[in-house]
Amino acid sequence: MDTGRRQFLTHGAAVVGGVLLGASLSGPITRALENGQSFFRALGGTKELERPADLPKTLATFSDLEKGYHGANIPHGLVKEPAKPNVILVVIDTLRADHVGCYGANPFGLFDKRPEGNKQYQQGASPAIDVFAGESARFDRAYSITSKTNPAIASLLTALPLTTHGVLTQVGGLDPKTRTLAEILKEAGYRTGAVYSTFTLDDGKPGTSEHFRSGLSRGFDFYHRETRLVARYGEDDYVDEEGRLIKSRAKQSVNAFLQWVDGARKSQPFFGLVHLFDPHDLYDPLPPFDLMFGKSCEDARTPILRDSGYVRGIMGHMSHGISGGSPLSRAGLKSIESLYYGEIAYTSAVLSILFNRLNEWGLSDNTAVILTADHGESMTEHGLFFTHVWVLYQDNTRIPLVVRCPWLVEARGGLVVDALASSLDVMPTILDICKVEVPRGLFGASLVPLLKGEKKRVHDCVFSEGPQVDNSSESEPPVRAVLSEDGFHYIAAGKFTRLSRTRPTLHNGEELYNLKRDCVETVNLARALPEKKAELKKALEGFVGQAVDARKNAGVDQKRVELSRGQMEALRSLGYLR
């Protein structure tokens, strides 16, 4: 590995550490942020790269993206139901629902300006996803079981809460006694494949990190992460000490996934999972998506785009923002959010490759495609700046959930479902679509009756559990929550409610919010509505009791995981440890 790449990671980590510890660097760094300088430049670091002179031409590097996605050749009415449908599950990391166009997002509202030359994106940040949703069932009130990647995906693939499957951190492996969706479908005759985009989901496969064994590869014939370096406009992506990618761009992952699908489709049926990581911090969208949503982003384009330490340092510095305020101006905060939108736009554009290829291969009418997220992201809500871990406010837990199944939902016009849904429902829904028996004891419910119009709802309430800090000694979720059909969100903090010794408590005791009147959850009604609080507390206690009993009956080992040095260094590289 050359010296420049090594400096790229270690120098950035040092900056973050200095900021987090409240070192004397904070003054110069704050000035650098406000003046649009980079951390590396402010500290005498690496030379900033010039951006490509002709932005429109950079889009040509995405050969399939210029065509866009305009939907399949949409049939009138329902298509014939296949005997053995294919299923593709798209999981976009850190994608909060209200930043997706079909859920009402307006990224241009950040600066009240629509940049010229971006006609394809005039309606929002996610045109391909929005068109896809228009042909599908879009669940307007879908919530993740948790707010961290590995626990969330473990739940997606098992329909079990954290308390039951025991994966509370990014390093805890899924217990071998827990059956996964891939294992069940493989037993039913499906070919199974997964492409994922971050090292925490590694599972001991050759060429990936030896430090992480998620246990999530079980049942997959093909389980793959792109670790090869690719040049991007003269600069390498995020790499580990061995020169391997620690996060893959969406285009790399989708291309690898399509290669697998191309083989699998010749011996159908197949189940494929593709996990895309781009909206996760660091927000570093490729051109032209970096400058798509406002001129203030352009004002600070060089440091934000070219130094991972810039965004990471902002986030680290503002980890004290709950009590100390933001080191950035309002425009600066909007600039960072515009980069998050840029990552969503890039991801949506890359997904057009996937959707177009399914059309070209004739798979649109016999393949169910489910698009969702593992969790959301806080922008500035509740004093949390560009992060998502350990808290259960709805900016962290409300996720997009879109199901395209043209033999159940007519593609012309689609369907919007207002009933509550949970990420725990994904597995039983897929099994139901595939006509595979749903095992007893799952905590989710099939959403197929809602797609068919046979039921108006499948839940009276949905639940969530907070993940643990990766180096915590605790063995239970630190916070849990329940959301009722009538829109009340009850959050109960457990023993562990602090992000670190330097940060104040986020969830404190009991909280109750009326999301129909207070969607940003600022007015705690726990004292004002004691009966509603007691009702939801009882429901939450019942859920926890069932989850604990299920864990004991399954014999799941929920022991403390000791972090190795390699795990700690890897987790710090993406901000999971600070």
Per residue, what are the HEC states of 301-316?
HHHHHHCHHHHHHHHH
Position 574 scores a pLDDT of 57
Quick one: CA dihedral 369, 248, 67, 130, positive or negative?
A: positive
- Domain span at 368: 3-52+85-110+122-573
Contact status, residue 298 vs residue 55, Cβ threshold 8 Å = no
Inside any domain, residue 517: yes
Inside any domain, residue 74: no
Contact status, residue 62 vs residue 350, Cβ threshold 8 Å = yes
Inside any domain, residue 249: yes
Quick one: CA dihedral 410, 416, 418, 423, positive or negative?
A: positive
Inside any domain, residue 67: no
Both tokens assigned to 542: 């019942």
Both tokens assigned to 465: 């559990």
Inside any domain, residue 284: yes
Position 429 scores a pLDDT of 98
Give which of 223, 219, 221 is closest to 180, Cα–Cα. Answer: 219
- Tally of domains within the chain: 1
**C-alpha torsion 229→341→308→387, nearest 10:** -110
Strand (E) positions, 131-190? Answer: 137-143
Inside any domain, residue 63: no
Inside any domain, residue 236: yes
Inside any domain, residue 475: yes
| 239: CATH | 3.40.720.10
Tens-level pLDDT at each residue, the chain (578 residues): 332 222 222 222 222 222 222 222 233 323 333 333 332 232 222 323 233 333 333 344 443 454 556 565 666 678 999 999 999 999 999 999 999 999 988 777 676 555 444 554 555 678 889 989 999 999 999 999 999 888 999 999 999 999 998 888 777 778 888 999 999 999 999 999 999 888 777 777 665 656 667 778 899 999 888 776 544 433 334 555 555 555 688 998 999 999 999 999 988 899 999 999 999 877 878 877 877 775 444 444 433 433 434 444 444 444 433 334 455 667 777 778 888 998 999 999 999 999 999 999 999 999 999 999 999 998 878 777 777 767 899 999 999 999 999 999 987 778 999 999 999 999 999 999 999 999 999 999 999 999 999 999 999 999 999 887 654 555 577 789 999 999 999 999 864 444 433 333 456 689 999 999 999 999 999 999 999 999 999 999 999 999 999 988 888 766 555 556 666 566 665 555 55
